[in-house]
Structure 1
Amino acid sequence: MRFSVTYRIFAPDLTEAKARAGAIALEQTVEIPRDVVPAGYIETEILGRIEEIGAEAEGRFRATISYSPDSAGRELAQFFNVIFGNSSIQRGLRVIAVDPGAEMTRRHPGPRFGIDGIRALCGRTHGGMIAPVLKPQGLNADALARLGYLCAKAGADVVKEDHGIMDQPMAPFRERVEKTVAAVARANAETGGRALYFPSLAGAPDQIEANIRFAKDAGADGLLVMPGLLGFGVVARIARDGALNMPVMTHPSFLGPYVLSPETGFDHGVMFGTLQRLAGADISVFPNVGGRFGFTAGDCAQIATACRDPNGPGRAMLPSPGGGMSVERAGDMAAMYGTDVVYLLGGSLLRLGERIGEGIAAMRAALDRVDG
């Protein structure tokens, strides 16, 4: 019934690591000194429990601590709070694995669609998927819709808005959603394709719910959400709504500080794989190796593995690397990521202007060659 979190603890010796692990077990649950923890239910059930601890390398220790589902409740926010709430403020502590266990997986079942569901929606039964990005910020709604039309007509699987396009005056959320839905639908009707359109969810907290409903009613196929800014709970709210029935793509904006220091935060696979799945994302965007953000091949492989791990949590989801993507790199990327992947294409396509379809077609041909 209990769920567990594995932490990497940086400490000079095992004695200190054990002391820190004990402090984490307290901090993440009761947040009071050990000698005043009430006996009975609170001590035996609510208090975090050190299940295992040992050395990884000099100055590094791995500690697995289990927690009661009662401590986490049913809210995703509180679940994540127990995983790494106050302890995230400490130095020399990093989350390297989360095992939600049966009960928390039941409460947070993960992606509604996952890999198979997204493939069914866009009609791409095998091979890597292509997702051109509508940008740059500053274009009006008509220009963005025109780009969406060209991308869908060229055979894009997912037409995704850039995360930086929110509700600015040059392309207000509702105007551009209506226009881009119509443009992508027109392209699909002309080609017989099934390109999916994911607008970037925008709005102040009191507007988010209405904008979700607006996007659904307007005909958007899914939504791009930035959980680092809008909250993981917004992802869960969309994913859990059977009547809404919309897939979610998550974007890493604002989440960089959670992973960039090797001695704090989360491992890349936990942040962009496990936590996104628990929230209910179907596609997780992250910086690709060789791009401008400095993620390594190991970081990216860890993310892709966590996204597609058949052991969960929930359905396997699609990793979506972006940055530094090109036709010339298609073979290397396919060798690295396999076939269950969504490739983001941005600047390399926009250089082509009205000939953007040629770039998408070239990428499709390159992927088809390596995917078989």
Structure 2
Amino acid sequence: MTDRIEADYLIETAEDPSKAAQVMAGEQSSGTFVSVPGEDAPGVRVARARVERLEVVGEAERPSLPGATPGRPVLARATLSWPLSNMGPSLPNLQATVAGNLFELRAFSGLKLLDLRLPRAFADRNPGPRWGIKGTRRLTGVAAGPLIGTIIKPSVGLSPEETADLVRTLVEAGIDFIKDDELQADGPHCPFPDRVRAVMRVIRDHADRTGKKVMFAFNLTGEVDEMRARHDLVLAEGGTAVMASMHSVGLTGMLALARHTQLPIHAHRNGWGSVGRHPNHGISYVAWSKLWRLAGADHLHVNGLANKFCEDDESVIASARSLLTPLWEDAPMVTMPVFSSGQTIRQAAGTWAALGTDDLIHAAGGGILAHPQGPKAGVESLREAWAAAKAGEDIANHAAHSPALAGALEAYR
């Protein structure tokens, strides 16, 4: 690894792709639309971005976005690099460099940031995931196997007491992890302080009786001072996780929280579709998530197989693998993937086969709460589905010895 930042892009342009890539490099470093005095100064020459690689990979049927140079566009993969000295190991300024004004350039009818490779200095400057997989397993007491999790449903509308009643049902069902829905914040029907105190009474009482302390990720998304105060309340009440919506709080908000927190951060990716859904434009989750890993996310959502959203299975698994891939050999900064969105016992085998690890949270809302035999059977059925997957056993055969799994197979077709 050098002291240069590298970014891979898919570009869509009706212009000469080599010239278009040079336009990108100029716009995102020392150039502008005309020559200006001082462009040949030694420091400016050093600061220029370079086009390291360029490969034409096909043609687009039509321009993905309006406003670009007319003509049928070609598709190319381009790698640009910048010296670290342009911005230092600053995540907000890195984002402005690799994912800034270049999306608006007329030369491109589509442009997607695919991946990033960063100098080791970013590990020293930024907090990274302080708990990650090992810390999460330690806090939950789940030494092996996936963490079986769920989401408070209905997402909003429950009072603190009603939320606590549902949590009581879930902890008695044997759940490992529970999270607020990202829409549940600090509204007057369910104030954050009242919700935390009511829920933590249930979790503490259960831990005192059984020795198992369920992890609950409270959604503290808000302004920086609000998030710090909410974190401190969760910590004082004995909580073991907090949750923040990354797209809402931004990199600086996440960094401020990570530098303050004494608890794992469950990072929710709601809003990512606005930058990642288009195949030829925006930011891939692989690239986007690296920023949030560095900013301190201990858990990151990746959707799930056969999810209720638009993302295909290949993309989901690529996202999960990227979170488990070390950023540097001596500073891995791996983050625990969270599989969610329409998950049931049906996804366990495919997830295990594709990922080859159970270092993940498998969060099923309806897949647990809607089990015909109740939430306890919902939790048990997920554990049995994963046991069958890891043993290479057909789930239907395994269900012959598990009424909970048999009930789930009938319910979730």
Please say if residues 132 and 158 of structure 1, whose CA atoms lie closer than 8 Å, have aligned partners that are also in contact: yes
Please say if residues 322 and 343 of structure 1, whose CA atoms lie closer than 8 Å, have aligned partners that are also in contact: yes
Deviations 1:251-294 (A, max 9, x none): 121221211111111123223x3233122211111322312202
1:60 is matched by which residue type in structure 2? L
Offset, 1:11: 2.5
SS at match of 2:114: strand
Offset, 1:238: 2.7
Offset, 1:302: 1.0
2:52 is aligned with 1:54: no
Structure 1 gaps, min length 5: none
Inter-partner Cα distance in structure 1 for 2:14 and 2:221: 46
- Measured on the aligned residues, the alpha-carbon RMSD in Å equals 2.3
Number of aligned pairs? 367
Please say if residues 30 and 39 of structure 2, whose CA atoms lie closer than 8 Å, have aligned partners that are also in contact: no
Please say if residues 223 and 247 of structure 1, whose CA atoms lie closer than 8 Å, have aligned partners that are also in contact: yes
Please say if residues 223 and 253 of structure 2, whose CA atoms lie closer than 8 Å, have aligned partners that are also in contact: no
Partner of 1:261: 278
2:233 is aligned with 1:214: yes
TM-score (norm 2): 0.82
Inter-partner Cα distance in structure 2 for 1:143 and 1:56: 55
Which of residues 258, 279, 297 in structure 1 aligns to 2:313?
297
Offset, 1:69: 2.4
Structure 2 gaps, min length 5: 60-73, 392-413
1:174 is matched by which residue type in structure 2? P
Partner of 1:320: 338
Partner of 2:411: none
Going from structure 1 to structure 2, the CA distance change for 1:149 and 1:47 (only over 3 Å counts) comes to: farther
Aligned 1:133-144 pairs, distance under 5 A: 133-136=151-154, 137-144=156-163
1:180 is matched by which residue type in structure 2? V
TM-score (norm 1): 0.90
Offset, 1:246: 1.4
1:245 is matched by which residue type in structure 2? Q
Partner of 2:368: 349
Please say if residues 105 and 314 of structure 1, whose CA atoms lie closer than 8 Å, have aligned partners that are also in contact: no
Runs of 4 or more above 6 Å deviation: none
Please say if residues 150 and 178 of structure 2, whose CA atoms lie closer than 8 Å, have aligned partners that are also in contact: yes
Higher RCO, 1 or 2 (CA under 8 Å, sep at least 6)? 1
| % identical equivalent positions | 24
Going from structure 1 to structure 2, the CA distance change for 1:172 and 1:206 (only over 3 Å counts) comes to: same
Max Rg structure: 2
Inter-partner Cα distance in structure 1 for 2:225 and 2:30: 32
Deviations 1:31-74 (A, max 9, x none): 63462253335423332222222223342211111122233345
SS at match of 1:111: coil
Partner of 2:78: 63
Inter-partner Cα distance in structure 2 for 1:204 and 1:234: 8
* Comparing 70-79 and 195-204, the one that deviates more: 70-79
